[in-house]
Amino acid sequence: MKEQREHLTSPISFKTIASQKAEFDKIASSHNLTTGEWVRSILEMNKYSYGRIGEPTEKEIELLRLNKELQIKIDQHEVLTKYSDKSRNSLECKNIELQKACLELKANTTQLLKEFEVLNKNQQQTKIEKEKAEECLLKLKREISILIENGNNWSFYEIETISKLKDLTEL
C-alpha cells in the first residue's frame, strides 16, 4: 500500500453535502480505508463498465454476422443454380419437378439477394448514425470542457452530472 501511495500524485475532488460526506466516511471506515481510498477503489472497479468509442456496436456486429451468413447462402445458391442450369440445359429439363426446383432455387436466390441489399443498406445507415453519434460526442466533450472552465459555484448534482458526462465522453 505504501508503494501505491508514493505513486499517487494527482488529486481528484468533488463537492458533496455534509450528510453524504458523513455517509461516505462511515462506509470507508467500515472497510478500514480513508474516504479517498474507498472512492478510488469504487472508481477503479467501475472504470470498464461503459462501452468504448470506436468499437463496433452490437447492432453492427449482428449485421456483419448476418451478412456473412447470407453471403454463404448466396454463394451456395449460386453454385446450385449454376449446376441446376447446366443440368437443365444438358437434359433439356424434361422433368417437370426439376424445373420447379430450378424456379424455386432462382426465387430463393432472388429473395436472398434482396435481403442482402436490405442488410447492406441497414449497415450503411448504422455507420452514418455512428458517425453522427461520434460528432455529437465531440460536441458534448467541448460543452463539458466549457462548463468545467466556467463553473465556480456548482451544486453537488451539477458537478456529479458533469463528472459522469465527462467520464462517459472519455471512454
pLDDT tens readout for residues 101-118: 878 888 888 888 888 888
Does residue 42 share a domain with residue 68? Answer: no
Distance CA 139, CA 150 (A): 17
**Hey, what's the cell of 83?**
449446376
Q: Is the pTM of this model over 0.75?
A: no
| CA-based nearest residue to 80, from 88, 91, 68, 90 | 88
As for how many domains the chain has, the answer is 2
Helix axes 58-91, 96-150, angle to 10 degrees: 160
Distance CA 117, CA 67 (A): 9
Does residue 41 share a domain with residue 70? Answer: no
Distance CA 27, CA 97 (A): 77
Q: What domain range includes position 104?
A: 58-126
Tens digits of per-residue pLDDT, 44-79?
A: 887 766 666 667 777 888 888 988 998 998 888 888
Tens digits of per-residue pLDDT, 105-156?
A: 888 888 888 888 888 888 888 888 888 888 887 887 787 777 667 666 666 6
